[in-house]
Amino acid sequence: MKVMVTGGAGYIGSILVPYLLKEGVEVEVLDRFFFGANHLQTLCREYPLTLTRDDVRWFDGRILEGFDAVVDLAAISNDPAGELNQWKTMEINYLGRSRVARLAKEARVARYLLVSSCSIYGFQDGIMTEESPAMPLTTYSRANLLAEQDNLPLATQDFTSTTVRLATAYGMSPRMRFDIAINGMVLGAVKYKRIPVMKDGSQWRPFVHVKDVSRAISMILSADRDLVSGALFNIGSDVQNYQIGHLAQLVAESLPERPQLEWYGAPDTRSYRVSFQKAKKVLGFDPKYTPADAAIEIEKAIVGGETSDSIKTNTVEWYKHLLSDPIAGAEVALRGIVL
């Protein structure tokens, strides 16, 4: 199988790409490489991996010819980053990914997979299924929903279009992020002996390890087309729906030193619990990793010097840097990618 992964140098892509390569898949990554690509360049020496620096908004669609599948990860990657420039978020996360799906179909790619987010559910009581109403509260989640609505109907007998809504990801990645809940909690615990918790801690959120995300994507790419074409799947685990305050306690109890909780910010406007039974029944997908596993893994990596926080591990701060730094900002503007 030959697979194009847009946004393949990002947090999830940096785990997904080597996962696919080890399964014998030929991979090409299309990315802006805002956060670097050294971790992928080392793989090029050992595996059939090609890196292409381009943008989903204007790349030449002919490069998709000959691919069996496209995994569309390219996006402004979370709610706060999506608010830096709402139009650009819509342009990339909605229009750009709709363009990728159409070009994939025109290039006779057999399978297209859109990676969306459970944040689409917004603030709702009860357990959300794939049939539950969407309630997007941010530009990021609205763009995801619009891309879903454009791309799922493209499914035909010859073109498989699938969407996954991911729970909040966590765990180690070569393109490490500490601006997501569990990873940030562990960083705070190790570095400051305090776990940052967004007020008031009662909000619900589902979680999934980035390695489990990669396995779910791989399962969809190899699944019977009749099972996944035109289908939407929530990806995560029913038992990993957590209230944020309880999650912070769980992380604290997983670490050698028991850090204190430190509350910050205004109460979160997002709260939702999600059912992941459809992916379990249709695909046989059941996550293997837990927040406790990730907490131990990340803590050891920080203490051992394998990873550390920097401006690049906070998506919003890195984008702000690109816009404000005279040299980095000049290159961004020159290439037409100002956020």
Going by pLDDT thresholds of 50, 70 and 90, the confidence category of residue 180 is: very high
Provide the pLDDT for residue 268.
82
- Residues 236, 126, 244: CA angle, nearest 5 degrees: 60
pLDDT digits (tens, 9 = 90+) for 298-307: 999 999 999 9
User: Can you give the residue ranges of every domain in the chain?
Assistant: 2-334
Q: What percent of the chain has pLDDT over 90?
A: 86
- Residues 187, 289, 192: CA angle, nearest 5 degrees: 10
Nearby residues of 4 by Cβ (< 8 Å), 6 or more positions away: 27, 28, 29, 30, 63, 64, 67, 69, 70, 71, 109
The whole-number average pLDDT for the span 29-53 is 94
User: Is pLDDT at 170 greater than 90 in this prediction?
Assistant: yes
pTM above 0.85, yes or no: yes
Going by pLDDT thresholds of 50, 70 and 90, the confidence category of residue 324 is: confident
3-state secondary structure the chain: CEEEEECCCCCCHHHHHHHHHHCCCEEEEEECCCCCCHHHHCHHHCCCEEEEECCCCCCCHHHHCCCCEEEECCCCCCHHHHCCCHHHHHHHHHHHHHHHHHHHHHCCCCEEEEEEEHHHHCEEEEEECCCCCCCCCCHHHHHHHHHHHHHHHHCCCCCEEEEEEECEEECCCCCCCCCCHHHHHHHHHHHHCEEEEECCCCCEEEEEEHHHHHHHHHHHHHCCHHHHCCCEEEECCHHHEEEHHHHHHHHHHHCCCCCEEEEECCCCCCEEEECCHHHHHHHCCCCCCCHHHHHHHHHHHHHCCCCCCCHHHCHHHHHHHHHHCHHHHHHHHHCCCCC
The whole-number average pLDDT for the span 53-58 is 96
- HSE-up (13 A, CA, CB side) for residue 27: 33
The whole-number average pLDDT for the span 151-176 is 97
Provide the pLDDT for residue 331.
54
Q: What percent of the chain has pLDDT over 70?
A: 96
Provide the pLDDT for residue 339.
34
Asked if residue 74 lies in contact with residue 97, where contact means CB atoms within 8 angstroms, the answer is yes
Q: Residue 164 — φ and ψ, nearest 5°?
A: -115, 135
Provide the pLDDT for residue 117.
97
**The listed CATH number (3.40.50.12160, 1.20.58.410, 3.40.50.720, 3.50.50.60) that belongs to domain 2-334:** 3.40.50.720
pLDDT digits (tens, 9 = 90+) for 84-129: 889 999 999 999 999 999 999 999 999 999 999 999 999 999 999 9
Provide the pLDDT for residue 148.
98
Give the span between the Cα atoms of 229 and 280, in whole angstroms.
Answer: 17
The mean predicted confidence, pLDDT, of the chain is: 93
pLDDT digits (tens, 9 = 90+) for 252-289: 999 998 898 998 888 888 899 999 999 999 999 999 99
Asked if residue 66 lies in contact with residue 110, where contact means CB atoms within 8 angstroms, the answer is no
Provide the pLDDT for residue 248.
95
User: Is pLDDT at 329 greater than 60 in this prediction?
Assistant: no
Provide the pLDDT for residue 192.
94
Angstrom CA distances, 112 to 1, 3, 138, 267, 312, stand at: 13, 10, 25, 37, 30
The whole-number average pLDDT for the span 307-318 is 94
Going by pLDDT thresholds of 50, 70 and 90, the confidence category of residue 336 is: very low
Provide the pLDDT for residue 327.
60
